[in-house]
Amino acid sequence: MLKRPAFYIDMEACTGCKTCMIACIDKHDLPKGILWRRVSEYTGGDWNKDGNGKYHQNVFAYYLSISCNHCENPICVRSCPTTAMHKGPDGIVSVDHDKCVGCRYCEWGCPYSAPQYSEGLGKMTKCDFCRDYQREGKSPACVAACPNRALHYGEYEELADKYGSENLVAPLPSPNITQPNLIITPNRNAKPAGSQAGKISNPEEV
């Protein structure tokens, strides 16, 4: 097992296909409404007519596939009154269902909306980094699924050596809150955090 597992996203390769989302749903039998991995579409740009009646535009869009980032300083763990939410020795943040009372404080705390409440269980659920697959030496379902090899995982330090430590593009929150184990290679459309150039344009899908 890894010590500090992290996700790496190559935005140059992400087409927003959502195969990662379906692989996750299938692997974990997620019921409708619970999506441990979500692909948001960040879109912006305007259309303006010139003197000849022709439109000019500066439209851009990109996708970001984000699940739990198994943060170094997980606010969900800090928010949990029962210690159900915990970061294991394998670096994976997960919920102990024997302790979880479904108070949803973790959900309110997490800026990535990673912990999600299950009406059926009355408890929180979240990405467990496919701990069982990792124990078997397999990649997490989302990573193994990615058709364009945009999504990877590994030891944080090794990924950082290879790809740098960028972890912030719009519309992600400041990494200072939780120190996410996430590394991103932005693509040419990517806007800096806090940019007002675009917005999440698929709220109904995430």
Partner 1 sequence: MSKENSAPSKKKKGVSRRNVLKWTAALGGVASLSAGGLFYGLKKANRQPNSDEKIVWASCNVNCGSRCALRAHVSDGVVTRIETDNLGKDTYGSHQVRACLRGRSMRRRMYAPERLKYPMKRVGKRGEGNFERISWDEAYALVAKRLKKAIDEHGNESVYLNYGTGNLGATLSKSWPPGATPIARLMNCLGGYLNHYGDYSAAQIEYALPFTYGSGWVDGNTYADITNTELFVMFGNNPAATRMSGGGLVNDIVQARKKSGAKIIVIDPRYTDTAAVAADEWIPIHPGTDAALVCGLAHVLITEKIVDDDFLKKCCVGYDEDSLPEGIPAGNSYKSYILGKGDDKTPKTPKWASEITGIPEKRIIQLAHEIGRAKPCFITQGWGIQRQANGEQNCRAICMLPILTGNVGVQGGNTGAREGSFGIPFAGFPTLENPVKTSISVFGWTDAIVRGPEMTATRDGVQGRDRLIAPIKFIWNYAGNCIINQHSDSNRTHEILQDESKCETIVVIDNFMTPSARYADILLPAAFNLEEDDFAVCGWTSTMAYQIFAPKAVEPFFESRTVYDICTGVAERMGVRNAFTEGRTRNDWAHWVYAKQRANTPDLPENLDDAFTQGVFKYERKGKPAVPYKSFREDPKTNPLPTPSGKIEIFSKRLWNIAHTWELREGDVISALPQYTPTWEGVSDPLRSEFPLQLIGHHYKQRTHSTYGNVDWLKQVAPQELWINPVDAEKRGIKHGDMVKVFNKRGTVIVPAKVTPRIMPGVLTLPQGAWYTPGKDGIDQGGCVNVLTSQRPTPLSKGNPQHTNLVQVEKA
User: Residue 176, interface with partner 1 (CB under 8 A)?
Assistant: no
Rounded Cα gap, residues 175 and 71, in angstroms? 9
User: Residue 136, interface with partner 1 (CB under 8 A)?
Assistant: no
Measured from the Cβ of residue 204, the count of other Cβ atoms closer than 10 Å reads 5
State in angstroms the smallest separation of the CB of 174 from partner 1. Answer: 25
Strands (E) located in the chain: 5-10, 38-44, 47-49, 55-57, 60-66, 85-87, 93-95, 116-118, 123-125, 151-155, 182-185, 198-200
Among 28, 86, 87, 104, binds partner 1 (CB under 8 A): 28
- Note the maximum CA span of the chain: 68
State in angstroms the smallest separation of the CB of 176 from partner 1. Answer: 29
Selected range binding partner 1 among 1-9, 65-73, 102-110, 139-147, rule: CB under 8 A = 139-147
Query: CA separation (Å) from 115 to 31, 42, 79, 127?
Result: 14, 22, 12, 8
Interface characters, 106-125, with partner 1 (x: CB under 8 A): ------------xxxx---x
Among 4, 86, 87, 97, binds partner 1 (CB under 8 A): 97
Provide, for the chain, the percentages of residues in helix, strand and coil under a 3-state DSSP scheme, each rounded to the nearest 5: 20, 25, 55
Give the binding site for partner 1 (CB under 8 A). Answer: 12-19, 21-23, 25-32, 34-35, 39, 43-47, 50, 52, 54-57, 59-63, 94-97, 118-121, 125-126, 128, 130-132, 138, 141, 144-149, 187-189, 201-202, 204-205
